[in-house]
Each structure stands twice: as structure tokens, then as C-alpha cells.
Structure 1
């Protein structure tokens, strides 16, 4: 089973693109370039593989050619990323920069920022982290306490960010900080900054996952200096900017395909008779198709430049629950297999269960997302 079973539009060019990517990935697996894994967009860090994808034109796809990209459509990018996720390919190195930072810089960045960062992102060799969540704020970004104070020639940032994926390997972070306080409006006075890493006033501390892997971090900024050229967008407009970025983060196919390699192995094992046929597997496949369609619709909405914050929150809410359901069902059906039977399936099950607690937290907890859905979508009913 591949993403062609849950395809969106029947456009010939998208089918051809999916086929091209699928063949490339199959050859890479056969050659031992990578081993498919669950949650690959967060935990599969392979800089060489990211550069290889960039050479084929599959990173920076929607970045205009004038900025080093390929000027392709959001649906073409959706087709490529769907295949990469379905294959469990190691795409974590470039993922955040390509998915979220490049569109934000295109929309809000200065010409200098566009010409500096976008070609580097499109090369597959420049990596970003997201400095959003904080110890006492979590998914409530309006509660951030990191402060940016105006100084000669720029800003000094002081505060702590947590769950910052890839910060120990990234070149830069986009940090949300408070530049002013308005007691009547928590959303006012927030701004975004591009913070280059390597400053001794920035400490990156590892947060180890329960399986011993390291991809999360705590980042402590102690009066870290950011020049005026590092302001992203307009000072004080951070809330509007960050919520538009979150639509890209929350609506993408990674919010429903993190455990897709596990579902593929489960279906294959059922076909081989190792796992009993079960109606729950069919429901998981059907739900994957429906969520994939919803995610593709949002990709089209964002491509038009329209807002999709509520719809994106809904896809993220349903998608990450679905990912966890895949791990649960697979564990129930395959948990009693001998250790030497269906080893790939059993490995994916173990990884899926260990990674599952983070599915409904990253990108906004379920509780926060439910509130967004109620306000943005429910109010229109």
C-alpha cells in the first residue's frame, strides 16, 4: 500500500510525480540508503539524504526560482512529501525549514532575508528550529515570557524555549518573543526573530525521549543579541504571523502519516497470514484516505493565500489521534508474534508506541486544538 491508494486529484502530472518519487525511494531502500521508520519527519535526521532530495528539486519546491527554489505548486509539494512520509524516509533535517520557515520568510521576510535564507533552505543544507513553546506556556503561545528588549542596533532576547526539535543541529531558530505588554490583549506585543545559533549566550540542552533518542531540546537565551535585520516581519505582529505559520505546521500530511509505514507493514502481514484479518485495519485505511483528502484541500486553500487556521487545527486534532490508533491496533494484533516473525512490523510497533505520547502534543495539544476548532469552525455553523 502506498499513498497512491489515498490519492487526491487524478491529475496526470501529480500521478507521474508520485510515481517518480516512489521509484526513487524504492531504489534507495533497496540500496540501503535508509531503512523506513515511523515518525521519520521528526526523528530521521540525514543531512546527506536532504541534500540528495534538494538536488532532485524536492526541497524548496514552492520557493520561486529567483530565490533558489523551483517555483512548483503546493499540490506538487504535497504529492512529494506524502510519498516521503509514506516511505518513512529520513527527512527531519530540512523538514521544518522547508515546511514552515520558507513560506513565512516569503510572506513576511525582507528582501535581504529572502535572498540569504531561501536559497540555503532550497539547497537542503540549512536547517531551522522553532522557538515557540515555553516551560510555563506549552501550547498557549499567547503566554510566552521570552522577552526582546530594544538595544543599540538590535534586540536582546532572554527566556527559555522547550521541545525545540533539532536545535542541537540547526543553524538558526525562529523565536517568538514579547516586545511589549498589553494587559488587555495577550496577543499584542509579540514579535518574531531569526536567531542564528552559535552565540555563547544561547544554550541548547538535550531533552531525551523515553527510547533514548535525542531530537527535542531546551533552548535558553540569556540576553542573546539579534540585529535589526533579524526581525521577521513587523514588530508587534508576531501573533498574526505565527498563527498563519501554524496552518502549515498543523495541516500537512505528516499529521496523519507518521505511523503510515506501520500501517503498511500491518496490511502486508495480514496478507501473509501472520496477523489475522480485522475490520479495524480496514477502518484505519479508510480514515487515512479521508484525512489525506482533508489535508490536500487545505494545501489548496493555503496555495490561494487564504486562511485555514481552523481547518488545519481540525486535521491535526483528528490526524494525530489517528496515528496513535494505528499504533494501538497494530500492537493489539501483532503483540503476540514470536520475536523472529514480521521483524519490521514489530520494530515499527515498538517505535510507534514509544513516539505516540508526542503525537497529540507537538504542534498544539488536543485541548488547545479543540478550542480553536470550536471558535473558528463551530462559530460559523
Structure 2
């Protein structure tokens, strides 16, 4: 099987004008840049301000509160927000993947309820995928969905659920029917469900990170009422399409950009130049995936490659910063470089886990190329 090919991503006319607008807004906004801001930097007020400017739900149709702009225009806004280390964590999952998923799979009622609120920055989503003991193997989920009272009820546990304590709803992957007997058959019988938060039968417990910050959660469903999202048994296909949005975006190589910027300004040289070169290559690959999404394709393999390479780049940023900056990581230091390095170090263990471990991603690529 031939290697996947993507057309180079080309930004649309007006992209630089849009970029200038976002930069001017960010220059006037009050926040401290931080690493991994799309995960740890949640500010609902900031999210609402972005919504008021039309920078959330950008690709959604106008009838659902969106701006009907392209994935490439959204790319411009997103990379500027990430490069600035802006506090975008509250709306991130809703805007990045649940909006497109609801548009593609939701009922008209679900679309009209959630999409305009997502575009306004007033509705945040969490994702219920990972489970205790399952790791990155989504096909092994044990959360059960059963028919009840004309709808569905969920029973099970999800972990590492980012932002569930802030979310107004969560989309849950659950087993609605037995899977097939073979390994590939485990993908059968999976469906996605929308659960409103807070809600009956749902318990959200904080999971603190290494820094003591709270952005992860354990979410327990004990007969929680749920609505089917999409078609019953189509959960695996829907999740795979969502992961193309999750794995390929610029957050996969810009999570530590605030640190990259400091390294380049404080210690210019071969090491920082190498980082910039790799960063540019990753940006071009991510931009190409955004172009494929804008054209209506689902570049699953290419997204997996971007995520794998981006994870390794993020770790390299930390190594170079340790070598080149004469600071020790310290989250309480008055030195911004020491604070940013500390933020990157404590978040680094999660880089390879979120969105799928490198080993899982390489397995996806291998299967797609027919060598596994």
C-alpha cells in the first residue's frame, strides 16, 4: 500500500488579516502565557470573549450559530492562541471536536441546543473515552449503555476526563451491544452518548496532576440518563473521525511554544535553530491535515503521524530548554523561564498519553499501510 499523500496546506486569502486581528486582541488581553494552556488554562470569561468575536465554532454553519469559515481559517486563530499561551482550556474540546461531531451526527434538536452555545463560548464539553485498565485501547471499554424509559442509561467509569468539572455535557463511548468474537470485532457494538452535567447518576471526582492542579477527573456513571449521539453501533467510526481533529491540530506541537520562544530569545544558536526547523515542518504537516479536513476528507493516518511526531518534539523542547537556559524548573519562581520550564516538565508525562500513546498511533499507521 502506498504512503498517504496530502496536498500542501495553503492558507486562504485574508488569513494574515485575520491573524493580525487575533494578535492585536491577544496583545491587549490580560493573562500570563503558560505551557499546555489548552489543557490547564481554563478561563470561561476568556472563552466567552472569543465567542463574541466569532472565533469559536468558526466552521459551523450560520444556522447553528457558527461563522461558516474554513478549517484553515480556524487553524490561523488556533495557532495564534496557542502560540500566546492563552487560557483556552474551558472551550477547547467543545470547539475542537465535539462541535464537528454534533454537526455530523447529532439530531436537529441536539444541534440547536448545543452548537450555538458552543459558538458563544457558553457550553463546554468533556470526552468520556479512557477507562481504568484500558489505556489507549478504546475497543476494550466496559461502560455499558442499556435501554431504559424510552432512552438510555449508562453504567461505568471514565478516567483522565479533562475539564469534566467545568463541562455542561460529556460525550461518552459505551458498549451498547456485545462485540464480535475476534479482535477486530471488538469495534462492533459501540455507541456514543451525550450526558448533561451535572446530572443524576453522575459523580465527578478530581484527579490532581503532578503540580497539584485540577484539570483531570474520574467520572462515574451509575444509571445516568443519556441520549444517543449518531447511530447505534456506529460509535467506533464516529470516534475515529473525531480523533482526526484531536490528533492533528497545532496543540500537538505548540503546547510548549512559550518555552520555545524563550529558548530562542535567550539562547539563540544551533539547538534553538533545530527546534524552529522541526516546528516549521510539523506546522506544515498539521496545516496539510487541516486542508484535508476542509476538503471533507478524514485523514486518520496522517493525523496519527502528526500527533506522534508532535509528542516527540514537545519532549525535545524540554531537553533543549534544560540544556540552554540557566534556570531550574520552579513553578513559584519570579523568573518566567523557570515557571514555564516547570509547567512543561510536570505536563510532559501526559504528552504521549493524551490522544493515544505513540505505540498505539504507530499501530494505526502500520495497519493503514497494510504492514500489520
TM-score, L = length of structure 1: 0.91
Q: Secondary structure at the match of 1:267?
A: helix
Partner of 1:19: 20
Which one is further off, 189-198 or 335-344? Answer: 335-344
Please point out which of 322, 329, 337 is paired with 1:331.
Answer: 322
Structure 1 residues 241, 131: CA separation in 2 closer, same or farther (over 3 Å shift)? Answer: same
Separation in structure 2 between the aligned mates of residue 285 and residue 37 of structure 1, nearest angstrom: 19
Partner of 2:81: 84
Partner of 2:190: 190
Structure 1 residues 1-381: aligned runs within 5 Å: 9=10, 11-28=12-29, 33-184=30-181, 185-226=185-226, 230-270=227-267, 277-336=268-327, 343-376=335-368, 378-379=369-370
Structure 1 residues 178, 345: CA separation in 2 closer, same or farther (over 3 Å shift)? Answer: same
Structure 1 residues 263, 235: CA separation in 2 closer, same or farther (over 3 Å shift)? Answer: same
Separation in structure 2 between the aligned mates of residue 341 and residue 315 of structure 1, nearest angstrom: 33
Structure 1 residues 237, 45: CA separation in 2 closer, same or farther (over 3 Å shift)? Answer: same
Separation in structure 1 between the aligned mates of residue 100 and residue 49 of structure 2, nearest angstrom: 21
Q: Following superposition, which runs of at least 4 residues in structure 1 exceed 6 angstroms of deviation?
A: 337-342
Question: Shift of the alpha carbon at 1:374?
Answer: 1.3
CA contact (8 A) 1:139 1:365 kept: yes
Question: Shift of the alpha carbon at 1:338?
Answer: 11
Separation in structure 1 between the aligned mates of residue 68 and residue 24 of structure 2, nearest angstrom: 23
Separation in structure 1 between the aligned mates of residue 325 and residue 266 of structure 2, nearest angstrom: 9
CA contact (8 A) 1:47 1:124 kept: yes
Partner of 2:3: none
Residue-by-residue CA offset, 1:86-113 (whole Å, 9 max, x unaligned): 0000000111000000000111111111
Question: Shift of the alpha carbon at 1:350?
Answer: 0.9
CA contact (8 A) 1:82 1:253 kept: yes
Question: Shift of the alpha carbon at 1:335?
Answer: 4.2
Partner of 2:5: none
Residue-by-residue CA offset, 1:158-181 (whole Å, 9 max, x unaligned): 000000000011111000000011
Separation in structure 1 between the aligned mates of residue 261 and residue 219 of structure 2, nearest angstrom: 36
Which one is further off, 147-156 or 41-50? Answer: 147-156
Question: Shift of the alpha carbon at 1:183?
Answer: 3.3
TM-score, L = length of structure 2: 0.93
Separation in structure 2 between the aligned mates of residue 341 and residue 368 of structure 1, nearest angstrom: 37
CA contact (8 A) 1:328 1:353 kept: no
Separation in structure 2 between the aligned mates of residue 200 and residue 331 of structure 1, nearest angstrom: 47
Separation in structure 2 between the aligned mates of residue 165 and residue 330 of structure 1, nearest angstrom: 27
RMSD of Structure 2 on Structure 1 (CA):
1.9
Separation in structure 2 between the aligned mates of residue 10 and residue 218 of structure 1, nearest angstrom: 39
Separation in structure 2 between the aligned mates of residue 190 and residue 365 of structure 1, nearest angstrom: 21
Q: Secondary structure at the match of 1:379?
A: coil
* Aligned pairs, number: 361
Separation in structure 1 between the aligned mates of residue 287 and residue 269 of structure 2, nearest angstrom: 28
Give structure 2 stretches of 5+ with no counterpart: 1-7
Residue-by-residue CA offset, 1:168-208 (whole Å, 9 max, x unaligned): 11111000000011332100000000001122311101100
Q: Secondary structure at the match of 1:223?
A: strand
Structure 1 residues 341, 208: CA separation in 2 closer, same or farther (over 3 Å shift)? Answer: closer
